[in-house]
Structure 1
Amino acid sequence: MILLCGLLSNPQATVASMGVLIQTTALIYIFPSSLSFGVSTHVGNELGAGRPHNARLATITGLSFSFILGFMALSFAISVRNSWAELFAKDADIIALTSAVLPIIGLCELGNCPQTTGCGVLRGTARPKMGANINFGCFYVVGMPVALWLGFFAGFDFIGLWLGLLAAQASCVVSMLFVVAQTDWEHETRRAKQLTGGGAVGPMDEHHIEDSLSSQEKEKDGNLLV
């Protein structure tokens, strides 16, 4: 997005304001990111221990806290909108742009917090690829076109880029929560057991084990010859 800022009507101010806003989002992101890692570990541990009910409870608890974090981020962004930019710059244009976008960032974080936590749940259930696909689709298939249209064709300029990000976050959190809500925890428990080698050994697994033992015997024979 910072590259697109250079193509707007006031590139000096928009690039500078984008720098301030990116640092702000990075600061806020620390909290949902930490929650996401904790939820991911907890869910994975509960599934590995064969406790699907506890894994589901950990997911619900984590998502509940993520919404609380989201509202806290929104409140923070709105409360400091008129003073935050002055900590980084004195230019009136930069301050005005930053003040105008901060409430949008708050709304983005309202979606980003549960979305990030949802990614943690998918990692805990060994489905990180699904989370990556959702993020890619929402940000590049939904968010980028909306940002380009609003920023360069609909007359919203700098604010349009952030409204595009808001559209991406909204679609992402809805998609992520839908996928998490559809999770079959009993199935994920059985899958965790299989992934960790604790499940029943099938024909393909037996063949793989035989091949591994055969390779180890050949390597042992070779070492004896040496």
Structure 2
Amino acid sequence: MPSNGAIEEAHVPLLEDLASPTAPLKKERVEDEEDKVLAKRVWIESKKLWHIVGPAIFSRVTSYSMLVITQAFAGHMGDLELAAISIASNVIVSFDFGLLLGMASALETLCGQAYGAKKYYMLGVYMQRSWIVLFVCCIFLLPIYVFASPILKLLGQTSDVAELSGIVSMCFIPLHFSFAFQFPLQRFLQSQLKTGVIAWVSLAALVVHVMVSWLFVYKLQLGVVGTALTLSVSWWVLAIGLLGYTLFGGCPLTWSGFSIEAFSGLWEFVKLSASSGVMLCLENWYYRILIVMTGNLSNAEIAVDALSICMSINGWELMIPFAFFAATGVRVANELGAGNGKAAKFATIVSVTTSIIIGLFFWILIMAFHNEIALIFSSSKPVLQEVNKLSALLAATILLNSVQPILSGVAVGSGWQSYVAYINLGCYYLIGVPLGYFMGWIFNQGVMGIWAGMLGGTAIQTLILIIVTIQCDWDKEAEKARLHLLKWGDTEQQH
């Protein structure tokens, strides 16, 4: 036992130190240093993030602008033409767009983690497997284009809209097959941070789209058929441009030519692609169902036009969160592949915070210009009035979408696709769709009720993803990524 004197001696320096006038200054200096270190880490991570996000936003906005330009051309032909293009693109094309985009996102997990682990050869083989799987899937999905008209009638669309939408859908078949090659190419290049080339090729495709649209619609007078065909031309320009860059020396580390190994392990790849596809297509189809449900309301043509305009604006802005989705998936996958769990967590925090700030900006913009936002698509006064009524829901959807896709990007980067697919199924289709139905028809709230109910499903899904992400053990995820690469890389390591 120490003596009382020893106790006093032990306590005196501590008390003196606490009483010292320099102690608060030392504490402030330590806090300042910590703030500087944190600010530096945020700056470094933001630069890495925006290296992907910047070109990704540009390429996605230009790609989506092709659809917006097509809808604008159709909208100035008449309300029926706008409804046909909107239904064909937002229901028929988006049905398989969501599935194929989701299936291609398996590459974000595999290529991202392989690139982080410096196993470069694996990326080219993965992409070729994805081409095979997506092309076969395109063949199986072809009947939805061929039989679009009876399908839309079965879903409750009016006869004239369904017939014209069926004709437009047939013109979208080349566009449909371009997805099988373009989506894997984009993810292959993004995973190795070659985002600049995607942006430049997207710009070239947009310029081609504007020129071809002018030629087909105004010079050749091809009407709504010509308007639809322009999308197929432009998207194939995009696919061929990215393919040319890859094949002719743009990726010397990750592309070493076509390989017979692409045909091995296809069943495992199909299963991973399918879980990725289900996860993302359940999200992508969700608001397309909103348009179909609206088509069953009274005065459906005006309601569908107004809602399609809102969905187009939402889709345009959604290209920014989708860019963050891609960037977050790449950053998380790269860091997990390199074994840096804490860096993956920090990348997630920075990405979500940045996206929320951007979402708030667009929320304010929509609320401030709610009377004018539809003029680019239509000059019809009833349509403009209906869009004005829906602007508050549009703003809320944009704000919520500044969080949800980024968390989905974390899921893709971590390989949680099958788990999140169940969350999406429950929140969207067991909660959101029934809630939208009850608010729209049972409570007679029309399109606003349908949208508000379905927005509730998105809010619940986002909340669950937030909880899952917060509780994640990132070191454990890094170890899982290492084991994942060993499982998928056996063939390539033997090469």
Using the size of structure 1 for normalisation, the TM-score is 0.83
1:72 counterpart = 2:361: yes
1:89 counterpart = 2:382: no
Question: Any idea what the Cα deviations from partners look like across 1:101-122, whole Å, max 9, x if unmatched?
Answer: 1221111121122110000001
- The match for 1:106 is 395
- The match for 2:443 is 154
Question: Any idea what the Cα deviations from partners look like across 1:180-204, whole Å, max 9, x if unmatched?
Answer: 1111111101111111119xxxxxx
1:69 positional shift: 2.4
1:176 counterpart = 2:465: yes
1:132 positional shift: 2.4
Aligned pairs for 1:112-127 (under 5 A) are: 112-127=401-416
Contact 1:108-1:165 at 8 Å conserved across structures:
no
Contact 1:43-1:55 at 8 Å conserved across structures:
yes
Question: Counterparts of 1:45 and 1:140 in 2: how far apart (Å)?
Answer: 33
* Rg comparison, structure with higher value: 2
Contact 1:105-1:162 at 8 Å conserved across structures:
no
- The match for 1:53 is 342
Aligned pairs for 1:122-201 (under 5 A) are: 122-197=411-486
Contact 1:63-1:117 at 8 Å conserved across structures:
yes
1:4 positional shift: 1.5
Question: Counterparts of 1:73 and 1:146 in 2: how far apart (Å)?
Answer: 27
Question: Counterparts of 2:365 and 2:400 in 1: how far apart (Å)?
Answer: 15
Question: Counterparts of 1:112 and 1:168 in 2: how far apart (Å)?
Answer: 12
1:16 counterpart = 2:274: no
Using the size of structure 2 for normalisation, the TM-score is 0.39
Which amino acid is the alignment partner of residue 8 of structure 1?
L
1:42 positional shift: 0.6
* Paired residue secondary structure (1:155): coil
Question: Any idea what the Cα deviations from partners look like across 1:138-169, whole Å, max 9, x if unmatched?
Answer: 11111101110111111211111110222122
* Paired residue secondary structure (2:401): helix
Question: Counterparts of 2:461 and 2:398 in 1: how far apart (Å)?
Answer: 12
Gaps of 5+ in 2: 1-289
**Alignment size in residue pairs:** 201
- The match for 1:206 is none
Question: Counterparts of 2:305 and 2:339 in 1: how far apart (Å)?
Answer: 51
Question: Counterparts of 1:168 and 1:74 in 2: how far apart (Å)?
Answer: 20
How well do the aligned residues superpose, as a CA RMSD in angstroms? Answer: 1.8
Which amino acid is the alignment partner of residue 150 of structure 1?
M
Question: Counterparts of 2:468 and 2:446 in 1: how far apart (Å)?
Answer: 34
Question: Counterparts of 1:47 and 1:12 in 2: how far apart (Å)?
Answer: 49
* Paired residue secondary structure (2:478): helix
- The match for 2:295 is 6
Contact 1:39-1:124 at 8 Å conserved across structures:
yes
Q: 1:86 to 1:68 in 2, by over 3 A?
A: same
Which amino acid is the alignment partner of residue 89 of structure 1?
S
Gaps of 5+ in 1: 199-208, 217-226
Question: Any idea what the Cα deviations from partners look like across 1:69-112, whole Å, max 9, x if unmatched?
Answer: 22123112212211112222222221121111122111112112
Question: Counterparts of 2:435 and 2:481 in 1: how far apart (Å)?
Answer: 39
1:52 positional shift: 1.1
Which amino acid is the alignment partner of residue 325 of structure 2?
S
Which amino acid is the alignment partner of residue 108 of structure 1?
T
* Paired residue secondary structure (1:196): helix
